[in-house]
Structure 1
């Protein structure tokens, strides 16, 4: 079949790769001049299976309410006159019920674990290098109450097969010596050796190059304006190409991998995706003292930051702001990231040479992405991965290719449009 994939972020590029491997003729449409230049460009870079709890849970809800009014709050809601945002928030509250949290967690862990295994196989097959480190993820706590609560989350993950160990402060420092200066504040943490990290932009760019060499047609600087329908199917997409011309593009099947912009494109077709952008920030610092910088990927629970070593750089990402589609940098939030990282590792980096970035994570209220069929026979979804796009990309792309090809995916997951 001729398949058109809309979006060349990590999810869209992985989808195209697996669709081509399944024997399809694939075209990828991307409005940017290259792959992975929006949400996939500068995220936290963790492949975080064992720390992938849904944000929709009672503890997060209480945290958000407690931080209302704080400009530098890790999780910041700025309510707007936006019906989608209000509906999203109401659904988020519903997803915080214990039964929903448990069901969502099972789905998230299932697709995340499948994706990590798929990434490892793809890496072995292609030889792609992207500053990957398979040294695990270390989650540390400086608040005793939060650490005590984390034991329940770690136990829930172990019940689902994730080897997430609860450990003491001395063990934290043994695993990551760069935390030694923080020893007096540490109360404990947890560690998962099987988790990984790596530069998602490098990965996606190199995979796109290999995909193009395998025959996939990437059309950059191409904007999709609408989907064309006929007889219960999508007959084509209307595009503005790189030369500014409006034209239709026909195909047998279409895959939506547009992240936060998926909902607006599909709304005229009567498909109401519950996806709202969560603006996340990152800062990338040149490392000046390699021995003082962490080599294990870290999660700082108190400040909701993740940190990944990328060769001679340290990437720190986090915070989430529900405030529309603007990617404008807020200096208060940028300064808060650097202030915290400097306090943790004062001699590790050149903090005056930080590169700041903001991207729009496509959040569903449940944190479970949309993967699978729609009510249009040849229209498919692979979107809404939230903060876990890098973690879930290869698995969701591989599963989506199976669905388009008429096969049941190997992973147990609540795929859209499938019973």
Structure 2
């Protein structure tokens, strides 16, 4: 089959890889000049989410107005869309609801682990990957909220070690034991890596293998689907004039929408409106300040959802989500809001790995990622037998893209995916109708 993939981020490139592996011919359309230039570029580095990483559950936005929360709010954020989104996400804060929901997504995590490992080992990719992630929790009240996640770690036999503050400081010398904190959880086998680099390496691999065409600088204006074929209308190239009589159209047997935040308007034109919400994420990439202070493990502030990961002679600090209305998210972020977000990242670095990063020389990034009101990506068939979607993975775990890509490739091929039916149902775009 001929398949068009819209989007050249990690999700789109991983989808192209899995479709190619399934025997399909693929065309990837990307509006930027190369892959990994959107939300993928600013990823924090964590490859796969554990129960402590997902953006839902007991600790996420438990007290969203508190300074210790990891979500920055613009004054006047209270509009109906944001309120509705936060309300739906808060339904997963009770321990029982959180556990039941995570059980649905766990099979996707397992498929993602297998898929990403297979790609890495088959092509001997080197993307600044490192093993070892240390989650840290500051306050005792937050430590109590973490217990339901620890129960899930035990239930699924995920290798981990629960540590006291002193033990955390002993294992990771960059973390100060004073002032004291509630404790931490060490995942020796979980890994971080350079997500944009991984994406570019997979793209290079596909170039070598053949069978996948990348078209850059081409934005999709609209999608057409009928019983015979599917097609996309391309927007004019930069500098070209639009001519209604000469619309650039590419047709295929199937289309996969994997364009991140750009997916929503394309689907809305087809009549599918999904309640995902844009979250603006920030990241700082700073040179190592003092080698003796640099962490050898990735350190994650569990409650604030801020990841601090070393990559060669740099430290990537990512998080500080900003929730705004959709109209505000489409505009450049206001300077005071950007400063508040980057200050939150800088403070986390000072608190947990002091002296490790030269923040004054950091490169700042900001971008929009989609969050769903249940914290799970949107994966599966949508509206039409020839139309598929794969987006909304949120900030945690870019390795999930490799798993959801495998699911989509199976669906396009007419093969039953290896994840159970309740997981598929939890990912489907029509789940929000219930």
TM, length-normalised to structure 2: 0.87
Q: How does 1:18-29 map to 2 (within 5 A)?
A: 18-29=18-29
Is 2:105 the partner of 1:108?
yes
2:51–2:152: 8 Å Cα contact kept in structure 1?
A: no
Distance 2:84 2:221 in 1: 25
**Mapped contact 1:225–1:239 kept (Cα < 8 A):** yes
Seen in structure 2, the aligned counterparts of structure 1 residues 297 and 5 have a Cα distance that, compared at 3 Å, is same
Q: Deviation of residue 100 (structure 1)?
A: 4.1
Q: 2:138 & 2:429 partners in 1: Cα distance?
A: 43
Q: Distance in 1 between matches of 2:183 and 2:302?
A: 11
Q: Determine if contact 1:142/1:188 at 8 Å carries over to the other structure.
A: yes
356-365 or 105-114, which moves further after superposition? Answer: 105-114
Secondary structure of the equivalent of 1:390? Answer: coil
* Alpha-carbon spacing, 1:61–1:299, altered in 2? closer, same or farther (3 Å): closer
Q: Please report how far the alpha carbon of residue 38 of structure 1 lies from its aligned counterpart in structure 2 after TM superposition.
A: 0.8
Match of 2:224 among 224, 228, 242: 228
Q: CA deviation at 1:54?
A: 4.3
* 8 Å Cα contact 1:49-1:113 kept in structure 2: no
Q: Evaluate the alpha carbon distance shift between residue 407 and residue 82 of structure 1 in structure 2; reply closer, same or farther with a 3 A threshold.
A: farther
CA drift at 1:241: 5.2
Alignment of 1:123-272 (within 5 A): 123-134=120-131, 136-179=132-175, 181-215=176-210, 216-231=212-227, 235-240=230-235, 242=237, 244=240, 246-272=247-273
Q: Which residue number corresponds to residue 33 of structure 2?
A: 33
Residues 264-303 of structure 1 correspond to what in structure 2 (within 5 A)?
264-301=265-302, 303=304
Q: CA deviation at 1:318?
A: 1.0
Pair 1:177–1:407, CA change in 2 (3 A): same
Deviation for aligned residue 1:151: 2.7
CA contact (8 A) 2:349 2:357 kept: no
Pairing 1:364–2:372 present: yes
How far residue 94 of structure 1 moved from its aligned partner, in angstroms, is 4.1
Cα distance in 2 for partners of 1:128, 1:199 equals 11
Given that residues 370 and 383 in structure 1 are in contact (C-alpha distance below 8 angstroms), is that contact kept between their aligned partners in structure 2? Answer: yes
Q: Report the counterpart of residue 74 of structure 1 in structure 2.
A: 70
Conserved 8 A contact 1:361-1:387: yes
| Alignment check: 8 A CA contact 2:48 2:397 kept | no
Q: Is the 8 A contact 1:3 1:252 kept in 2?
A: yes
C-alpha distance 340-102 of structure 1, shift in aligned 2 (>3 A) = closer
Between 1:181-190 and 1:349-358, the stretch displaced more is 181-190
1:290 deviates by: 2.3
Q: 1:399 aligns with which of 392, 407, 418?
A: 407
Please give the secondary structure, in 1, of the residue aligned with 2:341: helix
Give distance in 1, aligned partners of 2:53 and 2:299. 16
Which residue of 1 is the match for residue 115 of structure 2? 118
> Could you tell me the TM-score, scaled by structure 1's length?
0.90
Q: How many residues align?
A: 412
**Whole-Å separation in 1 of the counterparts to 2:49 and 2:368:** 21
Shift of 1:107: 2.5
Change in 2 beyond 3 A, CA 1:184/1:389: closer
Contact 1:54-1:101 within 8 A present in 2 as well:
no
Q: Is the 8 A contact 1:263 1:273 kept in 2?
A: yes
Question: Quick one: distance in 2 between partners of 1:350 and 1:90?
Answer: 38
Q: Which secondary structure does the structure 1 equivalent of 2:201 belong to?
A: helix
Aligned partners of 1:12 and 1:257 also within 8 Å: yes
- Is the 8 Å Cα contact of residues 227 and 234 (structure 1) preserved in structure 2? no
What is the alpha-carbon distance in structure 2 between the residues aligned to residue 239 and residue 84 of structure 1? 30
Secondary structure in 2 matching 1:228: strand
Deviates more, 1:348-357 or 1:9-18: 348-357
Q: Deviations over 1:316-365 (max 9, x none)?
A: 11121111234536112212322331344343232221111112121101
Q: Does 1:92 align with 2:100?
A: no
Cα deviation 1:104-146 (Å, max 9, x = unaligned): 2112322123212221111000111110012x21111221221
Q: Are the equivalent residues in 2 in contact too, given 1:140–1:300 (CA < 8 A)?
A: yes
Residues 261 and 52 of structure 1, relative CA distance in 2, 3 Å threshold = farther
**Counterparts of 1:288 and 1:98 in 2: how far apart (Å)?**
40
